[in-house]
Amino acid sequence: MRKRIVAGNWKMNTDVAAGVKLASDLMQLLIEKPAPENVGVAIAPPFTHLSEVHKVIDPAKICLAAQNCASEANGAYTGEVAVGMLKSVGVMAVIIGHSERRAYFKEDHATLAKKVDLTIKNQMRPIYCCGEVLDERNAGIQNNIVENQLMESLFHLNNEDFSRVIIAYEPVWAIGTGVVASPDQAQEMHKFIRSLVAARYGAEIAEQLTILYGGSCKSSNAVEIFSKPDVDGGLIGGAALDAAEFHRIVQSF
């Protein structure tokens, strides 16, 4: 049975003190009521919080993730944070290719492929994001867009390395636009992604691949979304900033 995961992306929210409290509150909730069997929990605080958050969580219950990483291992790259630095403070996974990184910081396929490679080389798991914007969805080319994103930044990996990847599908057109993606639309794309992986890496690896839904997911719709056969959890944004709400989403399987 493939792993189910609920990952919280805090984005550029909370200061260090508030972030430590949020992580501590979530940790206490998971002690009182653990995640369901075969469900993993991850949180991705801002870089400034990582070392302090690491001190208040049990890695057996919460995986510490980073929201991004540099595309180079080290060197004269002012302001960047290397994967080795992240690993040294307890980070176990890295979000790569988030739609906001693609849109605002113009990260391209080649840059994302380098980040994926560095993350895997450092024994961490990439949470690779893919998805289409509204114009692409309206044009009916969403499958082409997602296939290209996977081919250009992931499909160079060998079977062993690919097995470390987690994919998060972001329907960018349904995030903050007022347009809602239905659970059936999520399932349709998740199934398509799994079929692409099966064609490239074989049915066994495709079946073990965890694919997260990165749309607007809350406790009120998580049960329905997570019940879809190819949806293995969620990459949660705003709802991850409320420990009780995030914990309710974790319990939605």
Q: Given the structure tokens 């430590």, which residue do they identify?
A: 20
Choice among 100, 107, 132, 170 that is catalytic: 170
Q: If you average pLDDT over every residue of the chain, what do you get?
A: 97
- Tell the CATH topology of 4-250: TIM Barrel (3.20.20)
* Residue 13 pLDDT > 70: yes
The per-residue pLDDT for range 186-243, each reduced to its tens digit, is 999 999 999 999 999 999 999 999 999 998 899 999 999 999 999 999 999 999 999 9
Q: Where are the alpha helices (DSSP H) in the chain?
A: 16-32, 50-56, 83-88, 99-105, 109-121, 134-138, 142-153, 159-162, 183-201, 203-208, 219-226, 243-250
The per-residue pLDDT for range 20-44, each reduced to its tens digit, is 999 999 999 999 999 999 999 999 9
The rounded distance, in Å, linking the Cα atoms of 157 and 64 is 24
**Residue 19 backbone zone (phi > 0: left; psi -120 to 50: alpha; other: beta):** alpha
What is the pTM assigned to this prediction?
A: 0.97
Residues listed for the chain: 253
Would you tell me how many other CB atoms lie within 10 Å of the CB of residue 149?
A: 22
**Residue 180 backbone zone (phi > 0: left; psi -120 to 50: alpha; other: beta):** beta
pLDDT exceeding 70 applies to what percent of the chain? 98
What six digits make up the tokens of 23? Answer: 């992580």
CB 247 within 8 A of CB 16: no
User: In the annotation, is 49 catalytic?
Assistant: no
The per-residue pLDDT for range 76-101, each reduced to its tens digit, is 999 999 999 999 999 999 999 999 99
* Residue 141 pLDDT > 80: yes
User: In the annotation, is 170 catalytic?
Assistant: yes
pLDDT of residue 54: 98
* Residue 164 pLDDT > 90: yes
The rounded distance, in Å, linking the Cα atoms of 191 and 2 is 14
* Residue 178 pLDDT > 70: no
The rounded distance, in Å, linking the Cα atoms of 129 and 235 is 9
CB 67 within 8 A of CB 33: no
**Domain segments of the chain as ranges:** 4-250
What six digits make up the tokens of 41? Answer: 């929990």
What would the mean pLDDT of 146-170 be, rounded to a whole number?
A: 98
Would you tell me how many other CB atoms lie within 10 Å of the CB of residue 54?
A: 17
pLDDT band (50, 70, 90) for residue 174: confident
What six digits make up the tokens of 189? Answer: 């794309």
pLDDT of residue 159: 98
Choice among 49, 98, 190, 247 that is catalytic: 98
